[in-house]
Structure 1
Amino acid sequence: MNVTDLRWFVVLAETEHLTEAAATLQTSQPNLSRSLRRVEEAFGTRLFEREHRGLRLNPYGRIVLEGARAAAGAVESAQQRIDALLDPESGTVRLAFLHSVATGVVPDLLTAFRQSAPSIRFALREQPSHDLVRDLESGEAELGITGPRPDKDTFGWHLLERQRLCLYVPPGHALAGRDRVRLAEAADEPFIALRPDFGFRRVTDELCRAAGFTPAVAFESTDLTTIDRLVGAGLGVAVLPGGAVRGTESGASGVPLAGVRARRDIGLAWCLHRQLSPAAERFRSFVRAW
């Protein structure tokens, strides 16, 4: 017994006539009879009483009809949802992205894409880099905006932007307004940083280590805007990507860090061994041309 058998059973139960049901289903009477036999064998009992004018649903058949209608409706609903997801014009893109690009790259990309594909929806996931990579591998996310580039043998990659890293300082700070600053010059400052489980926190720690010091972290946050505002309030300094925080009036200013390592590559990643949905493929093609 399969889903088609249940659907055919519903039609037969509603018409209680083999010839009429076969005509409705556009199949032959022998095919419909074999289908009914499979359903009855699956339930272990006859579901119709045979009469000279046709068939009459018996009490067992009425129970099966109730379940078959529900099952057929559930399958039809699932098919409709899958069809919608697979539609390149109105499907859903499962996109994961780093917290640190939530106010910059992501809204810019989505705004531009929706001008050409307004009916496509997005299921967004904002998460640390290690969770993002895990979700790409499992298929929970189809595409991810992350940095640095994940394992090239497992993931495809398209560079979106190369971000200059900056030291954000409070208003009136001695380092404010400089063209460049060496991170070692902030060695004695309290730092406002992301929590240790965030990928960009590791970037900050590695830069400080390369500059010869361990930062004295005064506060750890999960949100770049919060960090920006705490810096603006004079609680410390922070290493952030230039332009990562928008639309705030904290007064904090970013001074570009000196050195070739003071940058971060942000790109679109996808699993090479997993097929993208049509909507996700359309978004990836758009990003590559963006």
Structure 2
Amino acid sequence: MRMARATLSDVQLRDLDWLVSIGDHQHVSAAADALGVSQPTLSRALARCEAELGARLFDRVPDGVRPTPAGSLVLDGARDLTTRYARLVGSLARVVDPDTGLVRLAFLDSMATSLVPSLLRAFHAHAPQVRVELRQEPGHDIVRDFEQGGVDLAIVSDLPPGPYGWHLLQEERLVLVVPATHRWCGRTAVDVAELGGEELITTPPGFGSRRLVDGLLREAGVAPTISFESQDLATIEGLVAAGLGVGIVPEAFAGQSGTVGLRLDAAGARRLIGLTWRTDRELAPPAERFRAFVLRQAAGTPTRATPTRP
């Protein structure tokens, strides 16, 4: 006998679940009672499945039905599929449930010991069963993760190009850090134009902090020598402390390894840090709960700002 070629659109998961119930009860009427459907409805579903699969699945016997060899094969597959689907539904519920689900948060390395821990501590007290998956990476990697759907929200200094929302969380002053033996140590401020003769330690091209620094230098019309590049702002401060050059970093990093922080006389010597998310995609309930919580925590700050775009 030539078997019909069934597709998933023909045999539905509900049908498979009903077949399993018939196999478990070995009686159509008993299975119908357990499922809460009429016996004729279940009998029609069984007949439809047999027609679509091209095989008789049950033999009629005096006290009910028994699976045929083909029926035993179908029941084994049906049990596996319905079990896996139930497991999938349960796992999905745990991910999207606003009380127990998952939030995927990316953030800049420079936020790892300051803003992020305080936000997570507050959110954990608010929603202790929500899991937050963290990605600590540079801004251009965060943009890539957004494009690939790998993160829900991010804490960044650059507002990415495209459909992104933004909420300002904090504003940081940028300062010049110099070694403790530098000739400028007795000063409180430095004009950016004075950096032309200095060796500068900064982040590599493509990083948000590098764009900020390059913008300040370009505005002042100077091009200092780049002596070292590091992705980590704390490392930059440490290299400056070792006497290898000067650096422009957020004020919180000044003095960590013995450097001296000097105010920069430049209107743009600041870094805006904000929470961002895609506006062309709906956030999953746990991520939306995190976003709403952070916005409430930051109440009183502007919901839109003008951070640097790449």
Range with greater deviation from structure 2 (182-191 or 263-272): 182-191
SS of alignment partner, residue 181 of structure 1: strand
Match of 2:154 in 1: 144
Match of 2:259 in 1: 252
Q: Stretches of 4+ moved more than 4 A in 1? A: none
Change (3 A) 1:185 1:42: farther
Match of 2:207 in 1: 198
Match of 1:160 in 2: 169
Q: Figure out how many residues of one structure are paired with residues of the other and give that number.
A: 287
SS of alignment partner, residue 189 of structure 2: coil
If the length of structure 2 is used for normalisation, what is the TM-score? 0.84
Match of 1:39 in 2: 49
Range with greater deviation from structure 2 (259-268 or 47-56): 47-56
1:9-50 residue CA offsets vs partner (Å, 9 max, x unmatched)? 222222221112112222222222233234334432122222
Q: Retained in 2: the 8 A contact 1:205–1:215?
A: no
1:170-216 residue CA offsets vs partner (Å, 9 max, x unmatched)? 23323336432222333333222222232222222222222222232
Match of 1:24 in 2: 34
Change (3 A) 1:143 1:177: farther
Q: Distance in 2 between matches of 1:176 and 1:84?
A: 56
Match of 1:185 in 2: 194
Q: Distance in 1 between matches of 2:18 and 2:184?
A: 77
Change (3 A) 1:65 1:256: farther
Return the letter of the residue paired with 1:108. S
1:261 matched to 2:271? The reply is: no
Change (3 A) 1:20 1:105: same
Q: Distance in 1 between matches of 2:98 and 2:62?
A: 52
Q: Aligned to 1:284, which of 291, 304, 309?
A: 291
Q: Aligned to 1:6, which of 16, 30, 51?
A: 16
How far did residue 64 of structure 1 move? 2.0
Match of 2:131 in 1: 121
Q: Retained in 1: the 8 A contact 2:241–2:258?
A: yes
Match of 1:237 in 2: 246
SS of alignment partner, residue 93 of structure 2: helix
Change (3 A) 1:58 1:225: farther
Match of 2:305 in 1: none
Range with greater deviation from structure 2 (273-282 or 35-44): 35-44
| Aligned-residue RMSD, C-alpha | 2.3
Change (3 A) 1:255 1:75: farther
Q: Retained in 1: the 8 A contact 2:192–2:266?
A: no
Q: Percent identity?
A: 45
Q: Distance in 2 between matches of 1:218 and 1:121?
A: 42
If the length of structure 1 is used for normalisation, what is the TM-score? 0.89
